[in-house]
Amino acid sequence: MFIDARATDQKKIESDICIVGAGAAGITLALALSGKNLRIILLESGGFEPEPDTQALYTGANTGVPYYPLESTRLRYFGGTTGHWGGACWPLQAHEFERRDWVPHSGWPITREDLNPYYVKAQETCEVGPFNYDAEHWSEASDQPELPLGDSRLLTSIYQSSAPPTRFGSRYREDIDQAGDIRALLHANVTQIHRDPLSQTVQHVTTRTLEGKTLTVNSRLFVIATGGMENPRLLLLNDIGNQHDQVGRYFMEHIGIPKATLLLAKDVNTLFYKRTSINGTDIRAGLSLRPEVIKKEQILNTWIGFQLKATPQSRLAHSVDTLKSSIMNGDIPDDFVHHLKTVLRSMRQIYRDRDPAESDDDELGGTGELVEIPVGQQSEQSPNPLSRVTLGDQLDALGQRKIVFDWRLTELDYYSIRRTQEITAAEIGKSDLGRMKIPNPKEPEVWQHPQRISELAQPQGAFHHMGTTRMSTDPQHGVVDSDCKVHGTKNLYMAGSSVFPTCGYQNPTLTIVAMAHRLAEHLAAQFPEQEPT
């Protein structure tokens, strides 16, 4: 059931579990807890559509590496940032959960094996294919070979794509509405978290609408799931969990700088490295370094993707699969007209009078001995305590202090990207596939002086906010424990990518959802007296 906090006369609500934030983590958590005879409250700052006044609550100052306007990086309405999510899904690799001697502050208190059962559930929630990210499997299924790299330091890495991307707000709106044990309050901004220092428990939270109406939510357990910047902001505003000055630190993003170009031989088959649909699952393949190479080189992980044009055949397969899947679910897909036009145009081009502009030569970049292909990178950032979110003196429309964002990168971040490019170039050349062009800074020492990064290129973030309420068994080095409970508070939990100790290069959504399923199981176990309905 949905309730608009602007219209209700209620002043107080009782619940068993109160979830603050209705994005990927919050919606997943609420639905995973549904049916267990619990009273669940889901609080959302916005409504069903973006609203400028609500979105403006995200504004803040940036004092670090140049970054996007903060209000443009998140969406503050039901469904959250899945409203502009690109759909990429892939799990963190096993070695990325481990402590790495060359990466300060690395290591998770849980393992990839601990998370695997919840990744399986996350695949279903995100509406992607089977929990299988083995490149050889997908290559064989597509009848397209991987690059013949031989005994190389490189391997092919793939991700699955939710296509069209699952918009949690629209996809799961009816499920939330029909759940008899979930009450979702819209336009309910949490402004205060009332914690009793003697009992070390949160007693209740106060919500306020932009029009000034207030409401109190009492609950046995509370979860904050408002994103990698708002999660620490709420803790800092209420002086919770920061006894060791850890809240807001270790902000991480996925970065790519600078970009390179591959020059591949004209006869090299790169079709497997296009975004394509295989047995109903959209995938995209790229290159990364083998874990043992990363360890030997003592660098961070980076994914390299080829910016290849889609063929008429691959565009057709994608649109056909999208239309088929949506129709079977009784839905109209995003961009319905686009997909319909693609089917009609591709059928004409392939089977009747194919446009010469869509020839194989053009698809590969032109004629000649070598084909020039732009390369995109998505690189891991190391956890850096100086990269952080704090509070400034400016106030938002609710009277809350705004964020001051200080994104900082380290020498290891820059060196890892550069070294990965060098290794990739060497392996491509050794395999006689072609060559790789790497942009060279005028002064090599630029890499050793992060403050001079503007002389080389502008860092490109990916809107992935991670690490600001990190998980650690030791309260002196993190904000939450291995169950995502805030250190020093008995009934307050954090959800989302803010709990990530390290971030890999993988888009965080699948891991966010997997962690939400794991947290739901833990929270339900706190109510042994409750019998599922």
48 domain-assigned = yes
34 domain-assigned = yes
pLDDT attached to residue 123: 98
Question: Apex CA 435: angle with CA 372 and CA 255, to 5°?
Answer: 75
- Cis geometry, peptide bond prior to residue 258 (ω within 30 degrees of 0): yes
pLDDT attached to residue 370: 80
Sequence-distant (6+) residues with CB within 8 A of 121 are 32, 513, 514, 517
Over the chain, what is the mean pLDDT? 89
263 domain-assigned = no
Q: Residue 105: which of 303, 293, 380 has the closest Cα?
A: 380
- Whether the CB-CB separation of 82 and 168 falls below 8 Å is answered with yes
Backbone conformation region of residue 236, classed left if phi is above 0, alpha if psi is from -120 to 50, else beta: alpha
pLDDT exceeds cutoff 50 at 176: yes
pLDDT exceeds cutoff 90 at 37: yes
**Tokens 């800074």 -> residue:** 441
Percent of the chain whose pLDDT exceeds 70 = 84
pLDDT exceeds cutoff 90 at 266: no
351 domain-assigned = no
Name the 3-class secondary structure at 511: helix
pLDDT attached to residue 303: 96
What is the pTM for the complete model shown?
A: 0.89
Q: What is the CATH number of the domain that holds 531?
A: 3.50.50.60
437 domain-assigned = no
Sequence-distant (6+) residues with CB within 8 A of 456 are 257, 258, 441, 446, 447
Cα 449 from Cα 438, distance rounded (Å): 19
63 domain-assigned = yes
What per-residue string of b and e applies to 200-215 under the rule 16 or more CB within 10 Å gives b? ebbebbebbbbeebeb
Cα 15 from Cα 128, distance rounded (Å): 33
Phi first, then psi, for residue 138 (nearest 5°) are -70, -30
Residue type, 486: V
Mean pLDDT for 454-472 is 82
pLDDT exceeds cutoff 80 at 406: yes
**Which residues does residue 202 pair with via DSSP β-bridges, in sequence order?**
195
| Count of helix runs (H) and strand runs (E) in the chain | 13, 19
Higher pLDDT, 245 or 453: 245
- Cis geometry, peptide bond prior to residue 164 (ω within 30 degrees of 0): yes
What are the DSSP calls for 234-267, one per residue?
HHHHTT-S-TTS-TT-S-B--B--S--EEEEETT
373 domain-assigned = no
Least confident of 73-82, 156-165, 352-361: 352-361
Cα 207 from Cα 8, distance rounded (Å): 13
Least confident of 277-286, 314-323, 350-359, 433-442: 350-359
Q: Residue 167: which of 91, 228, 77 has the closest Cα?
A: 77
Mean pLDDT for 255-282 is 89
Q: Residue 520: which of 82, 15, 38 has the closest Cα?
A: 38
Mean pLDDT for 425-445 is 79
Cα 470 from Cα 251, distance rounded (Å): 9
pLDDT attached to residue 350: 40
pLDDT attached to residue 446: 45
347 domain-assigned = no
pLDDT attached to residue 267: 86
pLDDT attached to residue 307: 86
pLDDT exceeds cutoff 80 at 443: no
pLDDT exceeds cutoff 50 at 236: yes
Burial (CB < 10 A; 0-12, 13-18, 19+), residue 431, is: middle
pLDDT exceeds cutoff 50 at 503: yes
Q: What is the pLDDT of residues 313-367, one digit of tens each?
A: 444 555 665 665 566 556 666 566 656 666 665 555 444 433 433 333 333 333 3
Sequence-distant (6+) residues with CB within 8 A of 531 are 37
Structural domain of residue 6, as residue ranges? 1-127+167-253+382-408+465-533
Which DSSP letter does residue 349 get? I
Sequence-distant (6+) residues with CB within 8 A of 479 are 232, 235, 241, 242, 246, 247, 469, 470, 471, 472, 486, 487, 494, 499
Per the structure, how many domains does the chain have? 1
Percent of the chain whose pLDDT exceeds 90 = 77
